[in-house]
Amino acid sequence: MIAIGGDTMARMQISAETSTWLLQAKDFLYEARRLKPGPERNDLRQTAKVLREIARLEGAPGQDWRQRTGSGGDSAA
């Protein structure tokens, strides 16, 4: 029998959440491709872009989200 540590389980949970974001982005892109070029299509593509960015940010275990976005609030003083 192989024991799985808590850290592995946490990574598996993050992967499941990330794939949910990516699946939603895929659905938005599929719908956008069905539309003619225009504002509605652009909105769907932008939404998919944001969902992919969320998936990317959540898929980087061990980093604080503020470090990844550059808004950590640290002062130079």
Do 31 and 39 contact (CB within 8 A), yes or no? no
Neighbour-count burial for 43-64, b at 16+ CB within 10 Å, e otherwise: ebbebbeebbebbeebeeeeee
Average pLDDT over all residues of the chain: 75
Cα–Cα distance, 63 to 45 (Å, whole number) = 28
Where are the chain's structural domains? Answer: 15-59
Cα–Cα distance, 52 to 26 (Å, whole number) = 9
Q: Hunting for tokens 């976005």 — which residue is that?
A: 69
Predicted confidence (pLDDT) at residue 77 exceeds the cutoff of 60: no
How confident is the model over 31-56, as pLDDT tens digits?
A: 999 999 999 999 999 999 999 999 88
Predicted confidence (pLDDT) at residue 63 exceeds the cutoff of 60: no
